[in-house]
Amino acid sequence: MARRKIPAAAWPFRLSPDTPPDRVAEIREGVAALDSAAQYGWGHSIDFGPFRKQGLLGDNYLDVAGMLDEWGWWPDDLSGMRVADVGCFTGGLSLLMAARGPSIVYAIDEVGAHLDQAVFLAEVFEQTSVRAVKASVYDLIDHIPENSLDLVLLSGVLYHLGDMLLGLHILRRLLKPDGLLLIESNAVNDNKRSFANFGRFYRGMWWQPSGLCISDMCEFMGFNRAEVRFYGPDRCLARTRRSSDEDIPFKRGLNWHFESLADAQFRSTDPGIMAPVRSYANWKHFLRGLPRKVSRRLRLPRS
């Protein structure tokens, strides 16, 4: 049975039909200038009303928002909340959240040319709750108060982080207790083995984690066990909340200053806990992984 397609979220903004032609032309020129200023052009496809600007990432952000709506993974009313769109690019998701009434939407990107697009979009559609932050994930502690955010959206960013664990740790510090973290990511659809392929910077990826790896990383960085759903062959959404624990279980090796490096829970010495990817380099190892009856038929020689 074919999977029912979840409807994309509706884009809530349009220029007024009464917008003077000169103003429409001015906005077009601004979009074109921002497009040419960014190395990879304009990011999200945006319907301005009198014209539509096609972006590198298309309407995917509306699909992501539609799934979050369908699954009830985020509130349809953000009144009074402080939220963040980390890695906002053109700010499509930032403005979608702004339309739901939060007190602040932090639109965050480390690439200035991307953030300029989000600022422009917020100004055009008069979304005053959008606050631009030009910063890396690793520097956000210097820009946003700790324990202050109700919701963080990390869409299309996790696999771009050279240090995914540190990025998640910092986002946890920014969230209030029980604060919501939503992740959209490139991933391997494997919920039995925990690993991250080295992406070799294909499409900007440092990593391509498995679904289990995403859930594991969240748990080890102080979140509740994440729910992970794949909506495409190599794309998933994950939802988790900052745990009630005051600390993360293990701190050694993390690029962060901690007052104590003592383990908060027992450190396993069982290699099976890693749920590793099986190596097939050795043919005997491979054959030992086959069902026993097949191995018997092959009559493997003993070492």
Q: pLDDT tens digits for 128-167?
A: 999 999 999 999 999 999 999 999 999 999 999 999 999 9
Residue 178: predicted pLDDT: 96
Q: Which domain holds residue 62?
A: 57-241
Q: Average the pLDDT over 1-22 and give the result.
A: 88
Structural domain contains residue 50? no
pLDDT digits (tens, 9 = 90+) for 27-44: 999 999 999 999 999 999
Whether the Cβ atoms of residue 106 and residue 55 lie closer than 8 Å to each other: no
Does a structural domain hold residue 52? Answer: no
**Average confidence (pLDDT) over 6-15:** 95
Contact (CB, 8 A) for 231 and 184 = no
44: left (phi over 0), alpha (psi -120 to 50) or beta: beta
Q: For 72-99, what is the mean pLDDT? A: 98
Q: Is residue 278 part of a domain?
A: no
- We report the CATH number of the domain holding residue 188 as 3.40.50.150
Distance CA 170, CA 98 (A): 23
What pLDDT is recorded for position 75? 96
What is the DSSP secondary-structure string of 49-117? SS-EE--TTBTHHHHHHHHHHHTT-S-S--TT-EEEEET-TT-HHHHHHHTT--SEEEEEES-HHHHHH
Report the chain's mean pLDDT, rounded to a whole number: 92
Predicted local confidence at residue 291, as pLDDT: 58
Closest CA to 157 of 174, 143, 136: 136
Distance from C-alpha of 88 to C-alpha of 143, rounded to nearest angstrom: 16
Q: Which residues contact 302 (CB under 8 A, 6 or more apart)?
A: none
Evaluate if residue 296 carries a pLDDT over 60.
no
Q: Say whether pLDDT at 81 is over 60.
A: yes
Q: Domain for residue 291, yes or no?
A: no
> Is 268 inside any structural domain?
no
What percent of the chain is predicted at pLDDT more than 90? 83
Residue 33 has what pLDDT? 98
- Give the pairing of strands 149-155 and 52-53: unpaired
- Which of these ranges, 40-54, 61-75, 268-282, has the smallest mean pLDDT? 268-282
Give pLDDT, residue 289: 54
For residue 276, the model assigns a pLDDT of 79
Q: What is the DSSP letter of 9?
A: P
Mean pLDDT calculated for residue range 113-125: 98
Residue position matching structure tokens 């910063």: 135
User: Mean pLDDT across the stretch 117-125?
Assistant: 98
In this prediction, residues 235-261 reach a mean pLDDT of 94
Cβ count within 10 A of residue 59: 18
The owner of tokens 């003077």 is 20
In degrees, rounded to 5, the angle at the alpha carbon of residue 119 between the alpha carbons of residues 116 and 122 is 150
Q: Is residue 112 part of a domain?
A: yes
Q: Which amino acid is at 241?
A: R
Residue the block writes with tokens 């496809």: 45
Q: Does pLDDT of 284 surpass 70?
A: no
Q: What is the tens place of the pLDDT at every residue in 191-215? A: 999 999 999 999 899 999 999 999 9
pLDDT band at residue 111, thresholds of 50, 70 and 90?
very high
Specify the pLDDT at position 273.
85
pTM over 0.85: yes
| pLDDT score for 39 | 96
Total structural domains within the chain: 1
State the pLDDT confidence band at 271, using cuts at 50, 70 and 90.
Answer: confident
Residue burial 88-116, b: 16+ Cβ < 10 Å; e: rest: bbbbbbbbbbbbbebebbbbbbbbebbbb
Return d(Cα 182, Cα 18) in angstroms, integer.
38
Residue 245 has pLDDT above 90, yes or no: no
Residue 207 lies in a domain: yes
Instruction: Evaluate whether residue 107 is within a structural domain.
Output: yes
